Amino acid sequence: MHRQFDPEKEEKVQAAIKAWKEGRAPSLNQAAVMRGVPSSTVRHRAAGRSPHTLLETQPKNQLLTAAQERALSKWIIDLWSHGFPARYDLLRSMASQLGGCKIGKNWVTRFLKRHPELTTVRSRMLEDKRGKANDIEAIIEWFTLFNCLVRKHKILPQNIWNMDEKGFMIGWAKAANVIVPTAHKRQRFCVHDGGRESVTMVECVSATGEHCAPMVIFPGKVHLAGWHEGRDSRDGWYWALSKKGVTNEELALKWLEHCFQPKSAQVAGPSSNRSQRMLILDGHGSHVSTAFIDYCGQQRILLLCLPPHSTHYLQPLDVGLFSHYARAYSDAVSSFCRYGGTGIGKREFIDLIAPVRQAAFTEKAITGGWKGAGLLPFDPLYVLNKIPSFTVADHRDLLDPIVDDLEAHMPAAGAFKTPACERILVSYVNDIRRAIDEILPSPLQHKFDKITKVAEASYAQQQILQATNNELQQALRQQRGRQQAGGRRHLSKARVLADVDIPMLVEQAQQRTKQDEQRTMQRVTRSQARLAAAGTATNDTAGAGDTTVQLTPECLTLLALR
């Protein structure tokens, strides 16, 4: 068993050698006795043998070399500097990869003893009971880290991205304010499909209003053809499967490789002059796997982790998009059910979510989320002033380093345009009324008012009927698509599918179905021929009193199908 390096003991050894060299001790042995250290150690040091630290006296059964452990220590410090303090499981995973075998349960404890520059602390959560002051300090520290990283690496606004997951229950509409007759205000229930199957959308947006194609994660083990047949293409979307329809380490890495990397690299420009990219995300376990972090390092992607439970303040997707996203999908579910739609499954979810997402992920909404999070334009006070207990005077020392804005500007927003109004008829009527008030007698004005009310009521009814008709047509189109879809025919067992591959897979599935149908019809034809021959023979041998039942063509077909 090796002994741990003792700095205090080494100081005494060096003092004994110095006393002997200066003549204050007649021999090395007496100098060692005077300092209370072993004489053999003093003689070895005087002969030039260097002291051995714990790392240098590595036992033969130690998993990692000294160089590997130093690299691991540096890696942990780098993670911490980007807001990803390493957990024990993450350290175990990386050490196992470096050592090529599974580490023991006490390895982390021994590793920390060998590296005094590292220590274990409890991570600080924003719901800490010590008070709101801790919440504010954590947010200010995060803003400081973001500001420093952007300035240090000269990251451009178009290269700053935010990624998060949004979960949906595919047949569930959220509660909302509704209007009912006053006499029946207790009858406030809204019809919805009731399906609670969970689907996850992995979304990512940039500070300049760009967005990556999403990854849609369904619960299941096999992709079915019925989910995709007959629908419009979803350019760049990826379709994935997991046990519960949520992200995991494998799917997070697939998203990084297939969704984020191509889009963000395209926005960043040619690799020769491409600046570093930043990806802001929460501290979910699937985002801090060693494979995820390694890939980001290879592609020059800086990871920046949000403080726990702060996404409602700091995450652009949460601040500016996800609430509207969820509400719009809930409205789509309610509309679908209102006009007779039932059985919302994965196919219906795809049809409903696509237009909802297109309407939600606009440049204005995306850049508004970054502004609301106080990131671009850089304005921490915009967020901090939302916290009731915050005052600038109490946190001046923390705010001073980040009072200057980043040297980056968002693209100028277009001129505001008033939305088009469809009340043209009412506007014309009001103009006419003002013109004739002074020239028509009161009885005629009274009749004109009645005509106006009838016209307004008719126009309003026409608008309602038109809107209802449009929604019914959309519901019919969706129902027709469902009837034409391939049902539960297996499409692929792959964990992740790109939307561009779906048409080819659907065509292959359809060809397999046609081949199966042809083989079935051939079997039916052969069986019909055999049964027809048998029926003819039976009928020929039947006597006058014979009660044998004659086989009609319909019966022959049914028997063949059986």
Report the pLDDT value the prediction gives residue 552, as an integer from 0 to 100: 54
Report the pLDDT value the prediction gives residue 519, as an integer from 0 to 100: 81
What is the average per-residue pLDDT within 442-462? 70
- Of the listed ranges 196-200, 289-293, 385-389, 482-486, the one predicted with least confidence: 482-486
Report the pLDDT value the prediction gives residue 320, as an integer from 0 to 100: 84
Q: pLDDT tens for residues 202-229?
A: 999 999 999 999 999 998 888 887 777 7
- Of the listed ranges 4-18, 198-212, 354-368, 375-389, the one predicted with least confidence: 4-18
Q: Return d(Cα 50, Cα 13) in angstroms, integer.
A: 12
- Of the listed ranges 113-127, 197-211, 280-294, 318-332, the one predicted with least confidence: 113-127
* pLDDT exceeds cutoff 60 at 417: no
Look up the pTM and report it. 0.60
* pLDDT exceeds cutoff 50 at 128: no
Mean residue pLDDT of the chain comes to 74
What is the average per-residue pLDDT within 36-52? 82
Report the pLDDT value the prediction gives residue 477, as an integer from 0 to 100: 60
Can you state the angle between helices 28-35 and 39-46, rounded to 10 degrees? 120
Given pLDDT bands bounded at 50, 70 and 90, which one contains residue 407?
A: very low
Report the pLDDT value the prediction gives residue 184, as an integer from 0 to 100: 40
**More confident call, 490 vs 294:** 294
Q: Return d(Cα 294, Cα 297) in angstroms, integer.
A: 5
* pLDDT exceeds cutoff 70 at 460: no
Written as one letter, the residue type at 14 is Q
**More confident call, 271 vs 123:** 271
Could you tell me the two tokens for 275? 């600046």
**CB-based contact 206:471 (threshold 8 Å):** no
Q: What is the b/e burial string over 340-376, where b = at least 16 CB atoms within 10 angstroms of the residue's CB?
A: ebeebbbbbbbbbbeebbeebbeeebbbbbbbbbbbb
Report the pLDDT value the prediction gives residue 446, as an integer from 0 to 100: 72
Could you tell me the two tokens for 494? 């792959």
